């Protein structure tokens, strides 16, 4: 860990030597480790220490950037020189609103010494418990357990300086047994919130119960979605349409729908980078404090999130959702919500299952891809446990299905929302999401292995 005072000194020195009209420096430092297992044994075990410094310089309305992972004074001076040289070559960008002025950033504490101090031996033992659970059940576990420290600092020549240090721990496992499989995943900044053994038990149990799946015809069915599947829905809604650039370009599911009810009144979605219930990051990559932005209120889209560029177009303030601007490709994405929450309901999973006469229980979605941006139409597969529900009870496992479904119309079909929420990080950023009961979900294919 570099620490705030060292980073501040480094960045202030770099700002001092920059000859540009304006300069912004974003520093990201990682000290992370990951233990990976498969076939009930550890097969990959890695650690990394890295720091990346992204420099953006402004000459009038010309912007150039350079990135280096070397922290010496010479390396930073070289990177600044490269950024200035690149800026000089550019035509003016009339849209560039200038670097932001400083705004007070209230710090958020999300640092856990237990995560920071996690050793390879600790990770190996935690993973070993899951492997033994699987082995004793005649199953095979695969997955990864990671722990790490992340530091982000943003400084600019207008006086912005923002610093955050946080810890992160992630665990994922897929347990396979014959033709059955189960899954578990969570993310947390506190080690105490990551119960690896309980997740292992859950995945083993799901793998055993999903064996001997029966074939089922693709059709439109009511579905109970575990939070893993809901994570996918929220992640795609955020990535593909909840940013202002997508709305400006007419490719968002929100276009022409802001203020109109398009989802169930049970659906409320917001982004909050400051909530310690998730994995907080209190400011964005321009150093702007992240605001809590309500994206959907009781089924009604309220509007997207903004960075300084998209906000300036509308004469408003950034909501603190800029991605790193020093990589030109990020400009194609625009601002994106990375800390999405969905309001909980009152139902338990069992209560939701009891409301279904004939339908499916889905553990999670896999390899989902955007088919069409309007309605946020996705295709993907189910995975790691699909069950037929008959007369309010789980009846038997069924084979995996392919779906092709608009996520916006799917959320118009919400009949119940779970009261428990999980913090998950399998999509873009993280989500904190409940289970859902949907009236209708469209499945379009099944998997069959042909003979030779």
Q: Which of residues 203-262 bind another protein (CB under 8 A)?
A: 249-251
- Pick from 1, 2, 59, 124 the residue near another protein by CB under 8 A: 124
Least distance to another protein, CB of residue 342, Å: 24
- Rounded to the nearest 10°, the torsion over CA 405, 410, 416, 420 is 70
Least distance to another protein, CB of residue 403, Å: 10
Question: Which x/- pattern, by CB under 8 A, does the window 392-431 give for another protein?
Answer: --------x-x-x---------------------------
Nearer to another protein by C-beta: 173 or 210? 173
The reply on whether position 173 binds another protein by CB under 8 A is: yes
Q: Is 311 helix (H, G, I), strand (E, B) or coil?
A: helix
Least distance to another protein, CB of residue 430, Å: 15
Distances (CA, A) of 229 to 24, 218, 232, 275, 434: 38, 18, 5, 22, 10
| Residues 237, 407 contacting (CB under 8 angstroms) | yes
User: Of the listed pieces 9-17, 336-344, 370-378, 409-417, which binds another protein according to CB under 8 A?
Assistant: 370-378
- Pick from 381, 386, 435, 437 the residue near another protein by CB under 8 A: 381
- Pick from 172, 291, 308, 425 the residue near another protein by CB under 8 A: 172
- Rounded to the nearest 10°, the torsion over CA 217, 221, 223, 228 is 50
Nearer to another protein by C-beta: 298 or 402? 402
Least distance to another protein, CB of residue 116, Å: 16
Alpha carbons 435 and 420: distance in angstroms, whole number = 8
Q: Which of residues 4-63 bind another protein (CB under 8 A)?
A: 32-52, 63
Q: Is 385 helix (H, G, I), strand (E, B) or coil?
A: strand
The DSSP 8-state label assigned to residue 192 in this structure reads: G
Question: Which x/- pattern, by CB under 8 A, does the window 132-161 give for another protein?
Answer: --------x-xxx-x---------------
Q: Which of residues 314-343 bind another protein (CB under 8 A)?
A: 325-329, 331-332
Least distance to another protein, CB of residue 445, Å: 6
How many residues of this chain interact with another protein, rule: CB under 8 A?
Answer: 95
Alpha carbons 28 and 103: distance in angstroms, whole number = 20
Q: Which of residues 79-98 bind another protein (CB under 8 A)?
A: 79, 82-83, 86-87, 89-91, 93-95
Find all residues with CB under 8 Å of 198, minimum gap 6, and list them: none
The strand ranges marked E within 322-412 are 339-342, 358-372, 377-390, 393-397, 401-406
Nearer to another protein by C-beta: 42 or 440? 42
- Pick from 14, 105, 123, 304 the residue near another protein by CB under 8 A: 123
Nearer to another protein by C-beta: 183 or 283? 183
Sign of the C-alpha dihedral computed for residues 79, 84, 87 and 89 taken in this order: negative
Nearer to another protein by C-beta: 258 or 371? 371
Q: Is 286 helix (H, G, I), strand (E, B) or coil?
A: coil
| Residues 362, 225 contacting (CB under 8 angstroms) | yes
Least distance to another protein, CB of residue 71, Å: 8
Least distance to another protein, CB of residue 89, Å: 5
Least distance to another protein, CB of residue 292, Å: 29
- Pick from 375, 394, 419, 428 the residue near another protein by CB under 8 A: 375
Find all residues with CB under 8 Å of 389, minimum gap 6, and list them: 222, 224, 353, 356, 358, 359, 360, 361, 395
- Pick from 8, 59, 68, 428 the residue near another protein by CB under 8 A: 68
- Pick from 195, 372, 392, 440 the residue near another protein by CB under 8 A: 372
- Pick from 103, 302, 379, 413 the residue near another protein by CB under 8 A: 379
Nearer to another protein by C-beta: 46 or 276? 46
Helix (H) or strand (E) run with residue 156 in it: strand 140-156
Find all residues with CB under 8 Å of 106, minimum gap 6, and list them: 274, 282, 289
CA 167 vs. chain centroid, Å, equals: 16
In 242-307, which ranges are continuous DSSP H helix? Answer: 244-248
């Amino acid at each position: 860990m570099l620490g705030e005072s060292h980073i501040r000194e480094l960045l202030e020195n770099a700002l001092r030597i920059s000859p540009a009209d304006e300069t912004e420096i974003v520093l990201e430092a990682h000290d992370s480790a990951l233990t990976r297992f498969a076939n009930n044994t550890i097969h990959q075990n890695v650690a990394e220490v890295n720091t990346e410094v992204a420099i953006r310089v402004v000459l009038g309305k010309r912007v150039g950037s350079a990135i280096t992972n070397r922290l010496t004074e010479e390396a930073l001076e070289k990177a600044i020189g490269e950024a200035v040289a690149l800026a000089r070559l550019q035509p003016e960008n009339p849209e560039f609103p200038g670097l932001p002025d400083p705004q007070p950033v209230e710090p958020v504490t999300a640092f856990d010494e237990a995560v920071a101090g996690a050793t390879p031996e600790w990770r190996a033992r935690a993973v070993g418990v899951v492997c033994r659970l699987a082995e004793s059940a005649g199953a095979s576990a695969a997955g990864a357990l990671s722990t790490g420290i992340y530091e982000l600092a943003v400084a600019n020549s207008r006086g912005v300086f923002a610093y955050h240090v946080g810890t992160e721990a992630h665990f994922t496992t897929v347990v396979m047994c014959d033709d059955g499989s189960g899954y578990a995943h969570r993310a947390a900044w506190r080690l105490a919130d990551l119960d690896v053994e309980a997740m292992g038990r859950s995945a083993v149990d799901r793998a055993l119960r999903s064996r001997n799946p029966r074939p089922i015809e693709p059709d439109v069915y009511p579905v109970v979605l575990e939070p893993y599947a809901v994570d996918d829905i929220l992640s795609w809604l955020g990535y593909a349409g909840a940013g202002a650039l997508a709305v400006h370009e007419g490719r968002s599911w929100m276009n022409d729908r802001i203020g109109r009810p398009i989802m169930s009144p049970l659906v409320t979605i917001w982004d909050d980078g400051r909530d310690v219930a998730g994995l907080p990051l209190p400011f964005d990559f321009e150093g702007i404090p992240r605001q809590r932005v309500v994206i959907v209120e009781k089924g009604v889209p309220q509007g997207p999130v903004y960075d300084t560029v998209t906000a300036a177009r509308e004469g408003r303030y950034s909501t603190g959702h800029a991605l790193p601007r020093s990589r030109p490709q990020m400009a194609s994405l625009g601002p994106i919500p990375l800390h999405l929450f969905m309001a909980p309901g009152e139902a338990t999973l069992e209560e939701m299952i009891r409301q279904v006469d004939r339908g499916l229980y889905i553990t999670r979605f896999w390899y989902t891809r955007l088919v069409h941006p309007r309605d946020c139409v996705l295709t993907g597969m189910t995975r790691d446990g699909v069950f037929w529900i008959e007369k309010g009870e789980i009846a038997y496992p069924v084979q995996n299905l392919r779906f092709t479904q608009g996520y916006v119309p799917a959320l118009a079909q919400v009949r119940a929302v779970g009261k428990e929420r999980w913090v998950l990080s399998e999509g873009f950023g993280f989500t904190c999401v409940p289970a859902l009961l949907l009236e209708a979900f469209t499945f379009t294919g099944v998997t069959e292995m042909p003979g030779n």
